[in-house]
Amino acid sequence: MMPQRVRLQHEAAVRHPTSIIGCQVRREPPNSTERYTRWINQLASDQLLTQVFTSHGPTVVMPTWFCSRAWFSHVGPFDEGGRGVPEDLLFFYDHLRRGGGVVRVDQSLLLYRFRPDAATHAVLESTIWTHRVCFLEERALRHWTTFTIWNAGRQGRRLYRSLSEGARRKVVAFCDVDEKKIKKGFYCYEESQERPKPRVPILHFRAARPPFIICVKLDLTGGAFEDNLRSLRLQEGQDFLHFS
């Protein structure tokens, strides 16, 4: 921890008494989890709230959290269910449900060590996925009448299958850049008990209409995906949300 951390985060907490205050971090070893480290250090202030649905988890990393005891007591306590419980994610979601904000001090105030044996690795991805889907439906999808899933591949189809029946009926299309998927024309939900089985169109992303739930991971395509998204001139949080 850097010597100025408590002072700087306390100052931010005084200004934002119902927020979790985080900070930028320096990773140790330096090359561990490079994409994740870039993400937590470079999110814009508005993205600290719009990107709360991604697989990265809380938009300020838990070891950097700082808030008043009063606010912690209002939100908490942590779920003490033990190994395998994503207690930081659950607390973060409850914090947001109670109208809490998220603020980051844009200085590197913590040395964040990567440990292969850390307890976080005991949490099953399927457990986190279930919580994320429920939170997405609760916070976003219930307010939308229709939406498009951006990615007709594995992640997009998995999200579609994981949705509640009501949310699934709001999916008007998948979109993609893969010509093979687009040429096929549709995704058939084979597990459905409906007859005929639902068929969801697969469109080129330029032919699809927002809002989008994006199931494409950021920072993995050399900027190609980000360029495509930027070309549509959409507003994050209103026209699209990142999920992967």
**pLDDT per residue over 225-234, tens digit each?**
999 999 999 9
Same domain as 172, residue 144:
yes
Out of 118-132, 168-182, 221-235, which region has the weakest mean confidence (pLDDT)?
Answer: 118-132
Q: Which pLDDT score, from 0 to 100, does residue 1 have?
A: 82
- Judge whether 135 lies within some domain: no
Boundary-marking domain end, from 92, 125, 158: 125
Task: Give yes or no for residue 121 having a pLDDT over 80.
Answer: no
Residues 10 and 120 placed together within one structural domain of the fold = yes
> What average pLDDT does the segment 118-122 reach?
68
How many C-beta atoms surround the C-beta of residue 187 within 10 A? 21
- The domain total for the chain is 2
Give domain status of residue 152, yes or no. yes
At which of 69, 101, 125 does a domain end?
125
Query: Could you give the CA distance from residue 124 to residue 80 in angstroms, rounded to a whole number?
Result: 16
Is 108 among the domain residues?
A: yes
Same domain, 15 and 38: yes
- What is the structure's pLDDT at 119? 62
> Per-residue pLDDT for 206 more than 80?
yes
pLDDT for position 117: 66
Q: Are 74 and 98 in contact (CB under 8 A)?
A: yes
CB 15 within 8 A of CB 100: no
Do residues 163 and 85 both lie within one domain?
A: no
pLDDT of residue 118 exceeding 70, the answer is: no
Q: Rounded distance, CA 2 to CA 9, Å?
A: 11
For residue 88, the number of C-alpha atoms closer than 13 Å in the C-beta half-sphere is: 16
The answer as to whether 176 is a domain residue is: yes
Question: What is this structure's pTM?
Answer: 0.95
In a domain, 118, yes or no: yes
Residues 150 and 48 in one domain: no
pLDDT(71) > 90: yes
Strands 19-28 and 240-242, by their bridges, are: unpaired
Q: How far is CA 214 from its chain centroid?
A: 10
Compute the average pLDDT of residues 52-59.
97
For residue 122, the model assigns a pLDDT of 78
Does residue 117 lie within any of the structural domains?
yes
Instruction: Name the phi and psi angles at 100, rounded to 5.
Output: -70, 155
Which residue range forms the structural domain that includes residue 202?
140-242
